Amino acid sequence: MEIQDINQNQEEDVPIPKIIGLTGGIGSGKTSVAKILEEQGFPVYYSDDEAKNIVNKDPMLKDQIIKLLGSESYIDDVYNRKYVAEKVFNNAGLLEQLNHLIHPAVRIDFEKWVKKQSSQFVFKETALLFELQLNKDCYKSLLVTADDNLRMKRTMDRDGKTYREIEAIMQKQMPEKEKIKLADYVIYNNSDPETLRIATEAFAEDLE
């Protein structure tokens, strides 16, 4: 387990709270790190979870998604995640359009959430931090990563998906080596949960 501080440069007069983008590919342990940070007293905004709520409660967004993907995008006024996922999985253009609908709504919700926080640091947990260049709006970025074979095994054990299904998902995500180059901090989660906890707590203690 290793923590790597890639970029030592800090901007002066950074507004409070300072936003740290937290990301990681499938099976990396990103959510586990987020939970540990919460236990340490840091507020965490779970972008992917909040997005699931927003697509159901924002009438304008609902209309836009239906216009883009069809009426089957909602069943009895509830977002049809399975249908939408199948619709955009092999269609990069549609996925990009969908992201451009959902992520501005999530950003607005996040900004409202930040204003309610009093902590010096807050974390924005999101799978697409670098893909959507959301890191540009953050004070720092933290990547949780692990060897591909470990990520594969964890996801198979957790989700019950086949090797091929997970491989297809991983191939569509930004390569880990590219994320590592972009991240300010990296936690390597190649060991056990207790080692991950120690590394995360050490990272939190060094924040400044």
CB 180 within 8 A of CB 3: no
Condensed to tens digits (0 to 9), the pLDDT of residues 21-33 reads 999 999 999 999 9
The percent of residues in the chain predicted with pLDDT above 70, rounded, is 93
Question: Domain boundary residue among 99, 116, 133?
Answer: 116
| Same domain, yes or no: 151 and 75 | no
pLDDT recorded at residue 90: 86
On whether both 36 and 126 belong to a single domain, the answer is: yes
> Do 97 and 137 belong to one domain?
no
**Which residue range forms the structural domain that includes residue 140?**
1-43+121-208
Domain count, the chain: 2
What separation in angstroms does the CA of 90 have from each of 94, 189, 201? 9, 29, 39
Give the pLDDT confidence score for residue 16 in this predicted structure. 74
pLDDT one-digit tens code per residue, 140-186: 999 999 999 999 999 999 998 899 999 988 988 899 999 999 999 99
Helices (H), the chain: 30-39, 47-57, 59-69, 81-88, 92-115, 148-159, 163-172, 176-182, 193-205
Mean pLDDT (whole number) for 105-124: 95
- With 60 as the cut, is the pLDDT of residue 10 above it? no
